[in-house]
Amino acid sequence: MSDELYMQRALELAELGRGNVSPNPMVGCVIVKEDFIIGEGYHRKYGEAHAEVNAVNDVKDSKLIEGATAYVTLEPCSHYGKTPPCANLLVEMKVGRVVIAAVDSNPLVGGKGITILKEAGIEVVTGILEKEARWQNRRFFTQIEKKRPYVILKWAQTADGFVAKKDFSSKWISNFSSRQLVHKWRAEEDAIMVGKNTAKYDNPALNVRDWVGKNPLRIVIDSRMELPKDLKLFDQAVPTICYNTQKSEVHGNLELVKLKSGFSVQDILQDLHQKKIQSLIVEGGSFLLNKFLESELWDEARVFTSQNKFEEGIVAPIIQKPASELISVLEDRLAIYYHV
């Protein structure tokens, strides 16, 4: 059986950790002996055992691991964090070969796990399905390499190109299935952001209701702190950040963060990076979305277009490139753009 086939299985396992392991990467591991899979594992939850540990524990007789091949989607860690180093575990279990999809690009640890394995006489192969592994963990790699969260822009627009009516009312443009899909996305990402007008006129809760999963960190931009205090965003139910130009304070689950140089997408993303926020969904409104588009500090856009028409209203942002993917969600059309 080929290395690619076993690595594909490891990638499938890694995907099961989506939404639960940030700021760690999703990682899968498959242990193979004489063309039989004897153990499988993935990183299930941040702070808990890594993929390699779970795969080793999945092997019924640990003696079988000696001389086996371990397939890991990301270079085994070499440092003591919330768990011991996985590279050391593989050495201890006397695996004969380790196949790695992607090398950790963190300059503090990248390559060190491979060095530990090689110094122990273990054969190491890298780059098997590397492109697929990096894409799966593009949030993790963006955080490390670009020093900011992976940014997903999302909005719904009418068939004639509006995101809201003139009075800012917009409920509902997309259908229920599209809105349910958005809740799934919320459960998969670290944070979600809206601007002042969206918070004021839509009064969104920005939590996960039509799906099962954790609530993202809520973020609102309110430069002069003029939003009503009885909005759902300020109900203390979910950790929330309000970026403003007035003051920095903490009130329970609500953190006020004063921006040093007024509204700046770069400053906001830098602060979120320092807070170890790996991914961010920007849900509107049009002004905020256009700020991200103009700054070119975005990675992905997900745009729903319904069959509804407003005739006039708040114009939707425009992306000057063809969509990478077009998906039908009942009568809605979902266009996905990648900024690469």
Active-site positions? 52
H or E element at residue 266 = helix 265-274
Binding site per annotation, positions: 50, 77, 86, 156, 170, 172, 186, 198, 202, 206, 209, 223, 283
Binding site per annotation, positions for NADP(+): 156, 172, 198, 202, 223
Residue 216 is classified by DSSP as P
Contact 117, 246 (CB under 8 A): no
Binding site per annotation, positions for substrate: 170, 186, 206, 209, 283
Q: How far is CA 113 from CA 74, 96, 109, 132, in A?
A: 10, 15, 8, 21
Residue 34 is classified by DSSP as T
Tokens representing residue 295 in the block:
């700054």
Binding site per annotation, positions for Zn(2+): 50, 77, 86
Residues 19, 123: Cα–Cα separation, whole Å: 33
Displacement of CA 38 from its chain's centroid (Å): 30
Tokens representing residue 217 in the block:
């960190």
Closest to 190 in 3D by CA, of 215, 153, 225, 157? 215
- How many residues comprise the chain? 340
Residue with tokens 């992905």: 300
- 3-state DSSP of 291-317: HHHHHCCCCEEEEEECCCCCCCCEECC
Residues 124, 184: Cα–Cα separation, whole Å: 37
Residues 331, 217: Cα–Cα separation, whole Å: 31
- 3-state DSSP of 57-109: HHCCCHHHHCCCEEEEEECCCCCCCCCCCHHHHHHHCCCCEEEEEECCCCCCC
H or E element at residue 139 = helix 138-145
Q: Which residues pair with 327 in a beta bridge?
A: 334
Residue 7 is classified by DSSP as H
